[in-house]
Amino acid sequence: MAVRIDDLDRKILVELQADGGQSLDDIAKSVGSSKTPVWNRIRKMRDAGVIKHQTYLLDAEALGFEACFFVLIRTSEHDASWQQAFLKALQDRPEVQEAHRLAGDIDYILKVRVKNARAYDTFYQALISEVKVHNVTALLSMEEIKSTTSLPL
Partner DNA sequence: TATGAAAGTTTTAAATA
Partner DNA sequence: TATTTAAAACTTTCATA
CA angle 66, 146, 110 (to 5 degrees): 60
- Report if residue 21 touches a second copy, rule: CB under 8 A: yes
User: What are phi and psi for residue 80, nearest 5 degrees?
Assistant: -60, -40
Among 17, 29, 37, 67, binds DNA (CB under 7 A): 37
- Report if residue 35 touches DNA, rule: CB under 7 A: yes
Q: How far apart are CA 72 and CA 111, in angstroms?
A: 9
Residue 149's binding partner among a second copy, DNA, none (Cβ under 5 to 8 angstroms by kind) is a second copy
Say if residue 79 is exposed, middle or buried (CB neighbours under 10 Å; 0-12, 13-18, 19+): exposed
Among 25, 61, 66, 92, binds DNA (CB under 7 A): 25
Stretch that binds a second copy, among 11-19, 24-32, 74-82, 125-133 (CB under 8 A): 11-19
Among 23, 81, 129, 147, binds a second copy (CB under 8 A): 147
- Report if residue 70 touches a second copy, rule: CB under 8 A: yes
Interface with DNA (CB under 7 A), residue total: 13
Sign of the Cα torsion 6, 8, 14, 15 reads negative
